[in-house]
Amino acid sequence: MKTKIIIPLITIALLLAACGKNEQPAGKTAPRDKAATAAMLKQADIDPNDVFYAGRKGEKVTIRWDADFSDCKGISIFRNALDEPNNSRLVAKLPAGSTEYVDTVPNARVFWYWLAIDMDGDKTKRIGPVRARADSSTTTKYTSAAKNITLIAQRTQSAVVVAWDLPSGKYKDIVIRRRNKPELPYGRDQRTRLIVHNASERSGDLVDQLPDPNADYWYWLEATKEDGSVITKGPIKAKFEAASMPQGQSKNQPKKSQPKSKTKGKPKSTPKK
């Protein structure tokens, strides 16, 4: 009799451990209509497991929710490799009526997700994190979308030339952002990164005049595709072209090319008379 009791208890314990912290194994959340969703968004502390879940299969993570956010302005999804929101990465910007998004992750490790609900009055309600388990498969092939993006920030003393190149595709929004610090503190969202350019072409360049020539600056690129997925690159620090410059030459002047010596090797000795 004892054996019959112990085996089911061990099995249940192993299943609970496999689910992990803040992970939804069943793939279901409690449905909410507009009124229930509005009441939930007014709560100070929201259990993310009651709102959405993240189910994983290989490089694909499906984020799904049953709450009706259609009265809101929109939904953004953030991802991080840690269960803290600092430096989380924007991966999607979706219409308010959406109920699902499939994210493509760059590696097999655990990832954490947040929903950011854009509401009236320029307010945003963040819900999360929810855990997507690590991929235990050894056959999954991972690719990082950011590797296919070129972002260069070349600076002088008073300005930065930013150049970008995106893979072929249809983009509805391409944004270049700037900030004087590389990290992104929680609660201040993407808005602390000043938008310096809205692009319509997947390749281009711009000259960004700096507000403080003595400060360092970092740049980000956010490209939103037609399906709402967001490809990001950054932070990229704006660097001077030359590591060292001749004395007396200003940083905002192009480096002059040095004349090449016509003589190779050691100079020939003058023959004695």
Q: What pLDDT is stored for residue 55 in this prediction? A: 97
Tell me: do 124 and 194 sit in the same domain. no
User: Would you say residue 86 lies in a domain?
Assistant: yes
User: Would you say residue 6 lies in a domain?
Assistant: no
Q: Is 189 left (phi over 0), alpha (psi -120 to 50) or beta?
A: left
Tell me: do 118 and 149 sit in the same domain. no
Tell me the three state secondary structure of residue 156.
coil
Tell me: do 82 and 120 sit in the same domain. yes
Within the chain, which residues score under 70 in pLDDT?
1-30, 184-191, 242-273
Tell me: do 109 and 77 sit in the same domain. yes
Task: Tell which of 132, 165, 185 closes a domain.
Answer: 132
Query: What's 212's domain CATH number?
Result: 2.60.40.10
Tell me: do 184 and 205 sit in the same domain. yes
Q: What is the DSSP code string of 185-197?
A: -TTS-GGGSEEEE
Domain interval for residue 158: 145-240
Task: Tell which of 88, 103, 132 closes a domain.
Answer: 132
Tokens of 165: 């190149």
User: Would you say residue 53 lies in a domain?
Assistant: yes
Tell me: do 126 and 29 sit in the same domain. yes
Task: Tell which of 132, 161, 177 closes a domain.
Answer: 132
Max Cα-Cα span within the chain: 116
Q: What pLDDT is stored for residue 270 in this prediction? A: 55
CA distance 210 to 207: 9
Q: What pLDDT is stored for residue 269 in this prediction? A: 54
Give this prediction's pTM: 0.72
Tell me: do 68 and 125 sit in the same domain. yes
User: Would you say residue 160 lies in a domain?
Assistant: yes
Q: Which residue has the tokens 């089911």?
A: 8
User: Would you say residue 113 lies in a domain?
Assistant: yes
Which residues on adjacent β-strands are paired with residue 159? Answer: 209
Tell me: do 22 and 125 sit in the same domain. yes
Tell me: do 124 and 58 sit in the same domain. yes
Tell me: do 84 and 157 sit in the same domain. no
Tell me: do 35 and 121 sit in the same domain. yes
Tell me: do 125 and 171 sit in the same domain. no
Tokens of 4: 């019959």
Q: Which residues contact 49 (CB under 8 A, 6 or more apart)?
A: 22, 24, 29, 130
Q: What pLDDT is stored for residue 200 in this prediction? A: 84
